[in-house]
Amino acid sequence: MDIVYLDNSATTKTDEEVVKEMIPYMSKNYGNPSSIYKIGRENRKAVEDARDKVAKVLNCESGEIYFTSCGSESDNTAIKGIAYGYKNKGNHIITSKIEHPAVLETCKQLEKEGFEVTYISVDENGIVNLEELEKSIKPTTTLITIMFANNEIGTIQPIKEIGEIAKKHNVLFHTDAVQAVGNIRIDVKDMNIDSLSLSAHKFYGPKGVGALYVRKGVKFDKFLNGGHQERNKRAGTENVAGIVGLGKAIELAYMDLEKHNEKIKQLRDYYVEQVKERIPYIKINGDMEKRLPGNSNISFRFIEGEGLLLNLDLKGICASSGSACTSGSLDPSHVLLAIGLPHEIAHGSLRISIGKYNTKEEIDYVIDNLVEIVGRLREMSPLWEEFLEEENK
Amino acid sequence: MEYSEKVIDHYTNPRNVGKIEDASGVGEVGNPVCGDIMKMFIKVENNIIVDVKFKTFGCGAAIATSSISTEMIKGKTLEEALQLKNTDVVNKLGGLPPVKLHCSVLAEEAIHEAIADYYRKEGKLTEEEIREKCNLKEHHCDHCCE
């Protein structure tokens, strides 16, 4: 096999249909959407059509959608924008310990600027503690920001309940839905979501374009100063090709959502079952029910994740790990530590995220290689040897 | 992160993996919390390391540094092996990414610990002399990625 791509939570392969829609906007349709002549007006229409498609999926008004350059920019805009927009009301923000760095680092920055942030804990499956969340609300709280679904362990949060708590206490609710959009049906009205981030390349769209939903009436400071684009909230000439791609991708994703999800979930469950059957001493991380359909996160005890990834890469298999070596720091993944995994087990985690292009043959190929690689790395591991010696005593 | 061809070669086909049942000395460094442990086994005859094997729990760089350093000390006298610096290991591997340099330090330390263990078993030197000769130090995890 050439490449077996099982890292769809990192990014996805751009759908050919999406690429086809984008190409004219990278060549002949080059007009600036802000210009008044025909080729400008036509591109304005293309941008607005894409906006309508996003609004339709989220069940909001088109005027509540802002295009950005990525999920991180959407998160930064929403969190900093709302924090500063409501700083006269209060300076307290609530988030969770398992957020994406785009949220965590933004919150840390706000702490440096005088805001107060509460990081609430999660249970062993990665679900936020709603009681702790409600208790941590103070008169100064202006914003709750909790991710819709986790990028590492796939856990889906009780978003509607969080929305209800926020509404009850008159606090705004932002959700980083970068991993959720394209996988889960979302209704911002029904779920009481005031603000939501999404990113096109997570659902077979292009990289370099995201969107932010902010409910009408919510005040937020702009993140990028300059021209009047995006209703004066996000300066910069629109990434027309990217926006068109995002619009097409979100439309396609929700057209066949249940069908794709069913196939993806079956492959994921098959993968997990096969690993359980053929490899001993593993730990499955995250909630098995409230989980993104394509996500699996398994720790292989006595081995380290990077060694595993490198060996998989040699076989053409693309996956991801929460080990320190792959996080670029000394500690393994903050998400795996937050759900209570000991360091040594977190170091041996492997995330496989299945997408719509994966096949059962690919999963079989991965399993066969995993069995061989895990066995080989364990043979090399002093921890495995000690474990066996203990067992034989 | 880019690994050199030599590193890839060594983590793909590590040399001298395993253990020596009647080892003259065994050295183990690192800990599971940090994500790397190296265990070196040496067989010494007439002051020469005639065989060496290793077991490592860790990333690709940890496996590659263990592997190449076993090759570098095999057939050497104990004094020569003690001269091996982590920078020699890095050079021999054609470089390591900066965040992985601590792996080469672990390899050096594992060799020193194995030789110290040999001297202890031999019983000719005092602990202080062994520590001095083998340049033993405490490994501090909080520094290893700096």
Give the span between the Cα atoms of B31 and A234, in whole angstroms.
48
Give the span between the Cα atoms of A187 and A337, in whole angstroms.
31
Give the angle A356-A48-A205 at the CA atoms, nearest 5°.
20
Tens of pLDDT along chain A (393 residues)? 689 999 999 999 999 999 999 999 999 999 999 999 999 999 999 999 999 999 999 999 999 999 999 999 999 999 999 999 999 999 999 999 999 999 999 999 999 999 999 999 999 999 999 999 999 999 999 999 999 999 999 999 999 999 999 999 999 999 999 999 999 999 999 999 999 999 999 999 999 999 999 999 999 999 899 999 999 999 999 999 999 999 999 999 999 899 999 999 999 999 999 999 999 999 999 999 999 999 999 999 999 999 999 999 999 999 998 876 665 666 789 999 999 999 989 999 999 999 999 999 999 999 999 999 999 999 999 999 999 999 888
- A352 CA to chain B: closest CA distance, Å? 19
What is the residue type of A378?
R
What is the sign, positive or negative, of the torsion defined by CA atoms of A388, A390, A391, A393?
A: positive
CB atoms within 10 A of CB A302: 22
Q: At residue A166, what are phi and psi to the nearest 5 degrees?
A: -60, -45
Give the residue from A238, A250, A183, A210 showing the smallest Cα distance to A18: A250
Residue B49, pLDDT score:
96
Asked if B29 and B106 touch (Cβ cutoff 8 Å), the reply is yes
Q: 3-class DSSP state for residue A330?
A: coil
pLDDT tens digits, one per residue of B108-131 = 999 999 999 999 999 998 899 999
Asked if A67 and A243 touch (Cβ cutoff 8 Å), the reply is yes
Q: How many CA atoms are closer than 13 Å to the CA of A225, on its beta-carbon side?
A: 0
Residue B143, pLDDT score:
46
Which alpha helices (DSSP H) does chain A contain, by range?
16-22, 38-58, 71-85, 101-112, 130-135, 159-168, 229-232, 240-255, 257-278, 305-314, 324-327, 334-338, 343-346, 360-380, 382-392
Asked if B57 and B70 touch (Cβ cutoff 8 Å), the reply is no
User: Which residue numbers of A are catalytic?
Assistant: 325
- Closest residue on chain A to B28 (Cα): A382
Give the span between the Cα atoms of A133 and A42, in whole angstroms.
47
Give the span between the Cα atoms of A209 and A74, in whole angstroms.
10
CB atoms within 10 A of CB A205: 32
Asked if A31 and A39 touch (Cβ cutoff 8 Å), the reply is yes
- Closest residue on chain B to A303 (Cα): B57
- CB nearest to B56's CB, from A324, A332, A380: A380
Which chain A positions have a beta carbon within 8 Å of B19's beta carbon?
385
Structure tokens at B54: 């290793």
- CB nearest to A344's CB, from B32, B38, B63: B32
ipTM rounded to 2 decimals: 0.89
Q: What is the mean pLDDT of residues B7-25?
A: 94
Which chain B positions have a beta carbon within 8 Å of A379's beta carbon?
17
Q: What is the pTM (predicted TM-score) of this model?
A: 0.93
Asked if A209 and A239 touch (Cβ cutoff 8 Å), the reply is yes
A324–B58 C-beta distance less than 8 A: no
